[in-house]
Amino acid sequence: MLISIPDLLTKAEVAAFRAEMDKAEWIDGKATAGEQSGAVKHNQQLKEDSPLGRKLGDNVLDALARNDIFLSAALPLKIFPPLFNRYQGGEHFGTHVDNAIRVVRGTPVRIRTDLSMTLFLSEPEEYEGGVLVVEDNYGTQEVKLEAGSIVLYPSTSLHHVTPVTNGARVCSFFWLQSMVRDDGQRTLLFDLDTSIRSLAGEQGVNHPEVVRLSGIYHNLLRRWADT
């Protein structure tokens, strides 16, 4: 399942992010790449353990925790601390699959990457190119969202970022381990939860069918989830 969530951050929040990031020190993006992805990764990023990166990452995590669509679609168990990258001057990221396991620097925490996420911090008109291209079960999908919007897609997907030929593409990127490992099961749960919310809005949360479907949802989650 590939899902885009608009307005995770407000335009004011994005502007505040960018004001601080524009003054920051950027390093070679290969610093957090694996062997295969490092060979095709050409971009810049904030230092993984920088105070600014940690501060902005915490703000992203706070926004995610308030977003019902994200929580329903991802069913997060562990989230890797958000990182921040920039593409400009022809930089790009060739076709790759994200590492299966990410280690949180300075801790014993290991995260299985079930979902990959890109939070856009540049408006589409600020740069040319820089399209995120994801190959999934439904074909090839191209993603270039408004600033403040985020896309989630299975980490098992082949994907790449096309060259940025003008301007700068600034994003946050990170991964999560879901309570439900299987993407197909997560998709079914998300679709069911979305339908329950819609029906509850029309009929009320105590309508017998809402109660019955809610029971089915939680029993499926109980069957499939790891905590």
Q: Which of 168, 190, 5 is nearest to 86 (CA)?
A: 168
In this predicted structure, the answer to whether residue 41 has a pLDDT above a threshold of 90 is no
SS (H, E, C) 117-167: EEEECCCHHHEEECCEEEEECCEEEEECCCCCCEEEEECCCEEEECCEEEE
pLDDT average, residue stretch 68-97: 97
pLDDT confidence of residue 99:
94
pLDDT confidence of residue 153:
97
- Cβ pair 138, 36 in contact under 8 A: no
Q: What percent of the chain has pLDDT over 70?
A: 98
Q: How confident is the model at residue 79 (pLDDT cuts 50, 70, 90)?
A: very high
Domains of the chain: 3-178 (2.60.120.620), 183-224 (4.10.860)
Which 8-state DSSP code applies to residue 175?
E
- What pLDDT, in 10s, does the model give residues 162-193? 999 999 999 999 999 999 999 999 999 999 99
Q: How confident is the model at residue 2 (pLDDT cuts 50, 70, 90)?
A: very high
pLDDT confidence of residue 227:
85
Q: How confident is the model at residue 138 (pLDDT cuts 50, 70, 90)?
A: confident
pLDDT confidence of residue 35:
67
In this predicted structure, the answer to whether residue 45 has a pLDDT above a threshold of 70 is yes
- Cβ pair 175, 117 in contact under 8 A: yes
Which 8-state DSSP code applies to residue 31?
G
**Chain mean pLDDT for the chain:** 95
pLDDT average, residue stretch 121-147: 94
At a CB cut-off of 8 Å and minimum separation 6, what does 204 contact? 210
Q: How confident is the model at residue 84 (pLDDT cuts 50, 70, 90)?
A: very high
122, β-bridge pairs: none
pLDDT confidence of residue 15:
98
pLDDT confidence of residue 34:
67
What is the pTM for the complete model shown?
A: 0.94
pLDDT confidence of residue 136:
80
Q: How confident is the model at residue 52 (pLDDT cuts 50, 70, 90)?
A: very high
